């Protein structure tokens, strides 16, 4: 058996083309580029469609061909903060240009097997159907959170979204244990606006009519939800993650990774540092920043904190940070604009990860056996964090937002207490299971082989190549 996942990939010669279309956000672009590399290593030729908004840099991937899909978005779209509106507009605006681009590709290439598009690029389903190309969906997050999204219309009918009283937020969701009312996707804004409901419905319905469904996750983690998944989505499903164990995400970073974070970690004691990052999309106000800062300062642990420029409302970078806190940073902390996260998590000095519970971050932490403290803001994050704490028991969830006392106590528990040690042992055990899953006869590798076989079985441009 081969321990190296990328070497372990079987090398059947295949010359079929797969057209990929990521949803243009960091947490979605990285896994799609990783999947592109994985499929290429199985012998497929890769074409990537991309929007102008958050465009990847084609010169970094000479192994793929890129095609621009004009998205019709204004230049300042990203700063408007209306995520639901942005998703809706991207889907609407991209339909025509995607159809045109695919039409051209089909008329010039006779090797196109299928499209693989992000679940959030749901409008590509009708384009694929019109042009007679199979569409496989990539869901970049967990199975557990996808099932929560799929349940939203039913939960809406049952009245979960109406009259959300503070007293009910901690109640269990009987239909989706162990979720609580406050964990339901979309409920964080208190009322589900029409456009959010439209997005969720379109994502779920678009997936149900697709030809297959890929997840960047692995079986040992999601076992309790797989029967439910099969019941709701009666299409071939492939759990082939964690993708970054095949190919690192570093090359698909939209921001420059500051390597001074690694030299700073080199000066710290083993397992002493708490790494803090809230991903590529989250924003904080000044009050939140103060709670995070003083929670970190009072924990007395060394910390590495990623503060993205523009992520603190009203500040270009650190202007709104209390001066006394910046003195603490100079003695015991390091703040960077963007870090090489996978390298940070595998660094011996890192003993804990305080994350916003974005799925890539959760997976990367699990793969390095690092215990987590979980915050969560929107979308899949509350479900991911609930599973990390209550089901997988790989971390502690901050239940009440950002409060300095709760932060300080969670950091101490993770870094210094018996609870942290137990979490670390569980995390290391799971890390071993991932290694097994990626071996030639492991679940993820076998699932990847099944995916390759499905793609190879699709007819191309009216020419049947048959299945293997």
Our finding on whether 246 is near ligand UDX (CB under 6 A) is no
CB 115 within 8 A of CB 136: yes
Unique residue bearing structure tokens 């960047």:
216
Strands (E), 409-466: none
Our finding on whether 54 is near ligand UDX (CB under 6 A) is no
Our finding on whether 141 is near ligand UDX (CB under 6 A) is yes
Q: Strands 212-215 and 135-139, how do they pair?
A: parallel
Q: Spell out the residues 6+ positions from residue 388 whose beta carbon is closer than 8 angstroms to its own.
A: 357, 362, 372, 374, 394, 395, 397
Site for ligand UDX in 300-339 (CB under 6 A): 306, 338-339
Which whole-number Å values give the CA distances from 48 to 36, 87, 90, 116, in the listed order? 8, 19, 17, 10
Q: What span, in angstroms and rounded, lies between the C-alpha atoms of 459 and 345? A: 43
Q: Which of 140, 202, 211, 445 binds ligand UDX (CB under 6 A)?
A: 140
Q: Toward ligand UDX, which CB reaches closer, 355 or 445?
A: 355
Our finding on whether 215 is near ligand UDX (CB under 6 A) is no
Q: Which of 380, 420, 442, 455 binds ligand UDX (CB under 6 A)?
A: 380
Q: How far is the CB of 3 from ligand UDX (least distance, A)?
A: 23
Our finding on whether 381 is near ligand UDX (CB under 6 A) is yes
Our finding on whether 371 is near ligand UDX (CB under 6 A) is no
Q: At what angle do helices 404-416 and 418-438 cross, to 10 degrees?
A: 70
* Phi, psi (degrees; rounded to nearest 5) at 397: -90, 135
Q: Toward ligand UDX, which CB reaches closer, 101 or 249?
A: 249
Span from 373-381, 433-441, 445-453, 455-463 in contact with ligand UDX (CB under 6 A): 373-381
Q: Which of 5, 27, 212, 442 binds ligand UDX (CB under 6 A)?
A: 27
Span from 119-127, 325-333, 355-363, 396-404 in contact with ligand UDX (CB under 6 A): 355-363
Which whole-number Å values give the CA distances from 33 to 93, 258, 264, in the listed order? 23, 21, 29
Our finding on whether 451 is near ligand UDX (CB under 6 A) is no
- H helices, E strands: number in the chain: 17, 13
- x/- mask, ligand UDX, residues 106-135, rule CB under 6 A, reads ------------------------------
Q: Toward ligand UDX, which CB reaches closer, 237 or 375?
A: 375
Q: Toward ligand UDX, which CB reaches closer, 207 or 460?
A: 207
The two tokens of residue 2 are: 């081969």
Q: Toward ligand UDX, which CB reaches closer, 44 or 275?
A: 275
Q: What span, in angstroms and rounded, lies between the C-alpha atoms of 352 and 301? A: 11
Q: Toward ligand UDX, which CB reaches closer, 380 or 408?
A: 380
Span from 146-154, 275-283, 397-405, 447-455 in contact with ligand UDX (CB under 6 A): 275-283
Q: What span, in angstroms and rounded, lies between the C-alpha atoms of 382 and 384? A: 6
Q: What span, in angstroms and rounded, lies between the C-alpha atoms of 149 and 302? A: 37
Our finding on whether 30 is near ligand UDX (CB under 6 A) is yes
Q: Toward ligand UDX, which CB reaches closer, 21 or 359?
A: 359
Q: What span, in angstroms and rounded, lies between the C-alpha atoms of 306 and 343? A: 14
- How many residues in the shown chain lie near ligand UDX by CB under 6 A? 27
Q: Strands 237-239 and 333-336, how do they pair?
A: unpaired
Span from 20-28, 46-54, 217-225, 434-442 in contact with ligand UDX (CB under 6 A): 20-28
Our finding on whether 217 is near ligand UDX (CB under 6 A) is no
Our finding on whether 25 is near ligand UDX (CB under 6 A) is yes
Q: Toward ligand UDX, which CB reaches closer, 98 or 341?
A: 341
Our finding on whether 280 is near ligand UDX (CB under 6 A) is yes
Task: Report which of 42, 34, 40 is spatially closest to residue 138, judged by C-alpha positions.
Answer: 34
Q: What span, in angstroms and rounded, lies between the C-alpha atoms of 327 and 322? A: 9
Q: Which of 33, 184, 281, 398 binds ligand UDX (CB under 6 A)?
A: 281
* Phi, psi (degrees; rounded to nearest 5) at 30: -55, -55
Q: Toward ligand UDX, which CB reaches closer, 27 or 351?
A: 27
CB 321 within 8 A of CB 311: no
Task: Report which of 154, 155, 119, 148 is spatially closest to residue 135, judged by C-alpha positions.
Answer: 119
The site for ligand UDX (CB under 6 A) is made up of 25-28, 30, 140-141, 249, 253, 257, 277, 279-281, 306, 338-339, 341-342, 358-361, 364, 379-381
């Amino acid at each position: 058996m081969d321990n190296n996942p990328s070497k372990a990939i079987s090398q059947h010669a295949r010359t079929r083309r797969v057209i990929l279309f990521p949803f243009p956000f960091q947490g979605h672009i990285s896994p799609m580029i990783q999947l592109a590399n994985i499929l290429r290593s199985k012998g497929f030729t890769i074409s990537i469609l991309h929007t102008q908004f958050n465009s990847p840099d084609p010169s970094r991937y000479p192994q793929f061909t890129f095609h621009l899909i004009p998205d019709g978005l204004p230049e300042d779209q990203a700063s408007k903060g209306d995520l639901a509106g942005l998703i809706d507009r991207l889907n609407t605006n991209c339909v025509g240009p995607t159809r045109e681009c695919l039409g051209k590709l089909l008329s010039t290439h006779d090797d196109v097997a299928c499209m693989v598009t992000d679940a959030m690029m749901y409008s590509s389903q009708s384009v694929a159907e019109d042009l007679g190309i199979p569409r496989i969906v990539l869901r970049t997050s967990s199975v557990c959170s996808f099932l929560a999204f799929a349940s939203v219309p039913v939960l809406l009918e049952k009245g979960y979204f109406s009259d959300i009283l503070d007293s009910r937020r901690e109640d269990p969701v009987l239909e989706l244990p162990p979720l609580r009312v406050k964990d339901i996707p979309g409920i964080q804004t208190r009322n589900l606006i029409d456009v959010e409901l439209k997005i969720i419905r379109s994502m779920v319905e678009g997936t149900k009519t697709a030809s297959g469904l890929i997840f960047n996750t692995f079986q040992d983690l999601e076992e309790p939800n797989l029967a439910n998944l099969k019941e709701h989505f009666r299409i071939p499903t492939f759990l082939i993650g964690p993708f970054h164990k095949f190919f690192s995400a570093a090359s698909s970073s939209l921001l420059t990774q500051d390597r001074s974070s690694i030299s700073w970690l080199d000066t710290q004691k083993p397992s002493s540092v708490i790494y803090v990052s809230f991903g590529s999309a989250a924003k904080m106000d000044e009050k939140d920043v103060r709670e995070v800062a003083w929670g970190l300062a009072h924990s007395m642990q060394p910390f590495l904190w990623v503060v993205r420029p523009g992520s603190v409302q009203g500040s270009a970078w650190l202007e709104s940070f209390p001066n006394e806190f910046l003195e603490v940073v100079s003695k015991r902390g390091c703040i960077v604009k963007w870090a090489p996260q996978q390298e940070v998590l595998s660094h011996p000095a890192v003993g804990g990860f305080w994350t916003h519970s974005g799925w890539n971050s959760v997976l990367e932490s699990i793969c390095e056996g690092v215990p987590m403290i979980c915050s969560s803001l929107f979308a899949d994050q509350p479900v991911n964090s609930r599973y990390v704490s209550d089901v997988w028991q790989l971390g502690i969830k901050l239940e009440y937002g950002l409060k300095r006392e709760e932060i300080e106590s969670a950091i101490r528990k993770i870094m210094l207490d018996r609870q942290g040690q137990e979490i670390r042992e569980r995390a290391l055990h799971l890390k071993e299971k991932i290694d097994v899953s990626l071996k030639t006869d492991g679940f993820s590798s076998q699932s990847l082989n099944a995916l390759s076989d499905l793609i190879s079985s699709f007819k191309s441009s009216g020419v049947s190549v048959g299945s293997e």
